[in-house]
Amino acid sequence: MASFVVEFPLKVQPFQADILNKRFEIARIIYNSLLNITQKRYKEMVKTKKYRNAIAVLQDKNKIKDDKKIAKEILKSIRMEFRFSDYSFQADVKQFQKVFKKNIDSMSAQKIASRLWKSCEKYLFGNGKKLHYKKVCISYIN
């Protein structure tokens, strides 16, 4: 089944472009701030002995399935302990959203947190190599 995407340029007034640029920049700031907190949590999580032992069990090819299943449960509990989940990220983004509540609504802030969780999920489970900060863009809308 084929799918197609059609892109049309957005025609806005200069004041509307300024508003959109401001909101995109605030969203970038929120994402990067939340990523900073997340990376600190990750570094602390990796330092724990329980985490390192569970990872070692998963990487050991000689371990049986039951041991690996227990190790996965331990990793899951460690991630919950260090608040490493989509819902935790959405709870954390509330503090940033409140600062910018005139420009970013709660649904947009939650979507930013969910987007960060998807990238962290790729990083945690082996598909991603690094978490990236969003770069500054001069103008999103011309």
Look at residue 142 in the predicted model and tell me its pLDDT.
Answer: 61
Helix, strand or coil for residue 48?
A: coil
Of the listed ranges 2-11, 22-31, 86-95, the least confidently predicted one is 2-11
Does 33 have pLDDT greater than 90? yes
The domain locations on the chain are 40-84, 91-142
What is the tens place of the pLDDT at every residue in 107-123? 999 999 999 999 999 99
Look at residue 113 in the predicted model and tell me its pLDDT.
Answer: 96
Residues above pLDDT 70, as percent of the chain: 97
The Cα–Cα gap between 61 and 65 comes to 10
Among left, alpha and beta (phi > 0; psi -120 to 50; other), residue 131 is beta
Q: Are 112 and 31 in contact (CB under 8 A)?
A: yes
Q: Are 102 and 109 in contact (CB under 8 A)?
A: no
